[in-house]
Each structure stands twice: as C-alpha cells, then as structure tokens.
Amino acid sequence: MVLPVVAIVGRPNVGKSTLFNRIAGECIAIVEDKPGITRDRIYAQGEWTGKRFHLIDTGGLEFGGEDVFIDHVRHQVELAVDEADVIIFVVDGREGLMPSDEEVATWLHRADKPVVLAVNKADNRRLREDMYEFYSLGFDEVIPISALHGTGTGDLLDAVVSRFPDREEEVFDEDTIRVSVIGRPNAGKSSLINAILGQERVIVSPIPGTTRDAVDTPLHRDGQDFVLVDTAGIRKRGKVYESTEKYSVLRALRAIERSDVALIVLDGERGVAEQDKRIAGYAHEAGCASIFVVNKWDAVEKDDKTMDRFRREIMKAFSFMDYAPILFVSAKTGQRVHKILPAVQEVAEQHAMRVSTSVLNQVLTDAMLTTPPPSERGKRLKIRYGTQVSVKPPTIVLFCNDPELAHFSYLRYLENRFREAFGFRGTPLRIRLRKGDE
C-alpha cells in the first residue's frame, strides 16, 4: 500500500519542527528558537485513526533577504509540496498574521494542493479567539493548535486524514512479481530497466535525476509476469542539489511499499555511499525481498580480486542484509543482465515461502539442544514452540515464558539456523516473541 504524504510548511520559526516531532511521536527534527535551523526536508512516518502516512518537515519559506540558503530552502520546500498529498501550513498565533504568511499562502494557492492551516502557539483562549484573522489567507480549514503542548493536534490530524486521496490499488495477478528499482540518482536505474526489457522504454540521461515520476512497466519472461518500477530522482529547473538525493529516498520508499522485490542498484564506479545504506535500510525495514545489483561493472578497473573486494565492502556496509544476493552487471554492455530476472524470481519465491509448523519446531528443537537459550537475572528463556504466521516477509512467532529474556544475539542465532534449514535467501526473516500460549 502506497502511503499518503503530508508536508509541513510555513515561514521560519513558527513551530514546524515542533509539530513534526509531535505528530511523529519522537524528537527527530532539530528544534531551536532561531530561524533557519531546518535546512533540508526530514522524513518520518505518522499514524492517526489507523491511517499511516509519510510526514515531511521543511525549512522556513522566505521570499527575500540575502541569506544564501533562501533559494536552496525554497527549492526543498517546492519538492516537498510537489510530492505531498496534503499540506499543513503553520502560522504563529502569538505574532498574528504577517506579510510573509500572505506570501507563503499565495505560493501554496498556486500549488493547488489540499491545505490545512494550523495556527500554532494558540496556548490560551484569547489567542484562539484572535485566530480568525488568518481566514483572510483563503483556506477553508483553520485550526488553532499548540504543537508544544499537543492542544488541538487531534483536530488538525482529523482534518488532514479526511483529505487523503482515495487511491485504487493496482490489480495484478497474485503470481505477478512487483520489482522496484531503487538507488542513488545516476546509478543507472533507468539504463538497467532498459537492458532488462531489451528496449528503451525509460528515458536515459547522464544527468542525475532525469526521471520525473515512477514508471510501471509490465514484462512477461519465461512464463513469469513481472512489473518493473523505475524510481529515479527528480530534476527541477536545470538545478540538481546534493539534497535532491533525500527526495529520491521518499520516492524509493513509496515504490518499496508496493513491491515484492527491490533491486538495490549500486554504482560500481562510485562505490557504496551513506545514501545507499539509507535506501537499502528502507527496503529491509519494509520487509521487501532484496538483491544488490552493482551496475557499471564494465567501467571498473579490475583484477582477479576486484569482485571479491567489492563483495566484502557490500557485506560490511550492509551487514544487516547479509541475506541479499549480489550481482555484478553492466546495463551498458548487457553483461550478466540476463541473471537478474531469474534471481528476482528465486528471492520472490523465498519471500512467499511457508514452512510447516512441525518441520519448523523440529529445527527449533535441534537449535535449542545445540545451543540452549541463555539465562538473564537467574531466569532462563524457555521457548515452547514456534509457528510461521505470515509471508512477504516470512514471519515466525515463538511462544515463550518471558519475551524480555530473549537476547538479540540468541534470536540472531535462531534466524541463522532457520536460514540454514529453509533458505529464505534474499528476504528478511521476522522473528516475534509472545508470552505463553497467546
């Protein structure tokens, strides 16, 4: 399911980051009583009345002055608004209506997106009564809140979720494998899709961020139906900022949410970067099956040990995803591209694999006999039995005497034993603990 996106915008120092932290439920954004602290968008996930959504924090919008960051921040906010389904426009109820609020409002009207106006810092009755001047900004929904204390945020979120779009889920045959192609800008994602398809169906350019939107491409190969999703970044007005990569992360995340398998494309020439780790981490956390595809391998100067060195670098950087296979390809020359779809099909099957309870418990018993569960504060973890409760990703529930006695290292040991016995290649494996016979 693709989650809606909510962007929080407004002029500097009106409390956007405080509201972001309040909705996200944790202190993520930097908060300081000084304009301009938030320079780039920050992402989190929120939930209200059972509806989950992506949340974007943005820097303060300004339309004048000599600050070198003003144009950069405005570009970032523009990207966030372009991606958003609903916008929360935050103003300062203590300061009252300011000319800069009117400038932001005019800009948002041109964006033609649903907007909910949040009058922040309305901490008392007088301030809440004074909020009516903000109706002159031309928005239907004006809600007084205190982001710091949480007052009114429930009403605000009610208004936000009521404006979420009704998206019809794509209807594919249940055997169709959805594959998202994700990675940093200019890693060769579009070229890779074209190489897999054998034709130029996706625009290719050496300029990072050429692909504006995700493009779904159906494919039938060797009796199997696939849908390939290109999730390249964004390019606006001929300017590509380094921070544009943050924007591509959200696009990748939204594609992952509706995929079975993620092809994590790495640039063989540039090596592994922090952005690669962040994007791969989203695939892992979302429970998506994954394959690392090292592209541009033809352009890498190499000897007989180069591939092993790069493989070790990947395994070190992505130690939390040691289950994912690694392919070295060249979209330009077609080298090993033919191996991608068979690998996709294999990990998709592993992603959807179900193990019988009796066989699972036999492996579990053998594992505990070989290495008994550890003791904690004089109490020993006792695992009574386990069962697989779901697939995509495979999820195993272990019933025990006290889940708090389970150390991470022992769960990792059990995961390794399950993988040795059943495979689960290319897919995350979730292990959950429950007390007693719940």
Q: Is 185 annotated as a binding residue?
A: yes
Q: Is 378 annotated as a binding residue?
A: no
Q: How confident is the model at residue 242 (pLDDT cuts 50, 70, 90)?
A: very low
Could you read off the pLDDT of 124-160 as tens digits, one per residue? 776 666 788 899 999 998 999 999 988 899 999 999 9
Q: Is 12 annotated as a binding residue?
A: yes
Q: Is 234 annotated as a binding residue?
A: yes
Q: Is 348 annotated as a binding residue?
A: no
Output 258 or 409, whichever has higher pLDDT. Answer: 409
Give me the pLDDT at residue 232, please. Answer: 46
End-to-end CA distance of the chain: 29
| pLDDT tops 80 at residue 283 | yes
Could you read off the pLDDT of 350-376 as tens digits, one per residue? 999 999 999 999 999 999 999 999 887
Architecture in CATH of 177-350: 3-Layer(aba) Sandwich (3.40)
Give me the pLDDT at residue 132, please. Answer: 83
Give me the pLDDT at residue 127, please. Answer: 66
Residue carrying structure tokens 């970067």: 273
- Burial of residue 120 (CB within 10 Å: 0-12, 13-18, 19+) is buried
Q: Is 417 annotated as a binding residue?
A: no
Q: Is 122 annotated as a binding residue?
A: yes
Contacts of 281 (CB under 8 A, 6+ apart): 320
Residue carrying structure tokens 């695992």: 383
| pLDDT tops 70 at residue 265 | yes
Domain ranges of the chain: 5-161, 177-350, 357-435
Q: Report the relative pairing of strands 142-144 and 215-221 from DSSP bridges.
A: unpaired
Could you read off the pLDDT of 287-322 as tens digits, one per residue? 999 999 999 999 998 888 999 999 999 999 999 999
Give me the pLDDT at residue 37, please. Answer: 33
Q: Is 57 annotated as a binding residue?
A: yes
Q: What is the DSSP string of 158-198?
A: HHHHTT---PPPP---TTPEEEEEEESTTSSHHHHHHHHHT
Q: Which helix (H) or strand (E) holds 332?
A: none
Decide if 5-161 and 177-350 have a common fold.
yes
For residue 99, whether the previous peptide bond is cis, meaning omega lies within 30 degrees of 0, is: no
Q: Is 160 annotated as a binding residue?
A: no
Q: Is 17 annotated as a binding residue?
A: yes
Other C-beta atoms closer than 10 Å to the C-beta of 185 total 22
Give me the pLDDT at residue 161, please. Answer: 95
Q: Is 183 annotated as a binding residue?
A: yes
Q: Is 21 annotated as a binding residue?
A: no
Q: Is 187 annotated as a binding residue?
A: yes
- Burial of residue 128 (CB within 10 Å: 0-12, 13-18, 19+) is middle
For 5-161, CATH gives 3.40.50.300
Strand partners, 182: 264
Q: Is 58 annotated as a binding residue?
A: yes
Q: What percent of the chain has pLDDT over 70?
A: 82
User: Where are any strands of DSSP class E within 66-154?
Assistant: 86-92, 115-120, 142-144
Give me the pLDDT at residue 106, please. Answer: 93
For 357-435, CATH gives 3.30.300.20
Q: Is 278 annotated as a binding residue?
A: no
Other C-beta atoms closer than 10 Å to the C-beta of 124 total 12
Q: Is 428 annotated as a binding residue?
A: no
Question: What's the pTM value of the predicted model, to 2 decimals?
Answer: 0.71
Q: Is 232 annotated as a binding residue?
A: yes
Over residues 372-397, mean pLDDT: 92
Determine the Cα–Cα distance for residues 293 and 138; give it in Å rounded to an integer: 49
Q: Report the relative pairing of strands 395-400 and 383-390 from DSSP bridges.
A: antiparallel
Q: Is 209 annotated as a binding residue?
A: no
Q: Which two tokens stand for residue 68?
A: 């070198």
> Of the candidates 270, 297, 296, 286, which has an alpha carbon nearest to the alpha carbon of residue 321?
286
Q: Give me the helix-helix angle, 153-161 and 16-24, nearest 10°.
A: 80
Give me the pLDDT at residue 236, please. Answer: 31
Q: Is 14 annotated as a binding residue?
A: yes
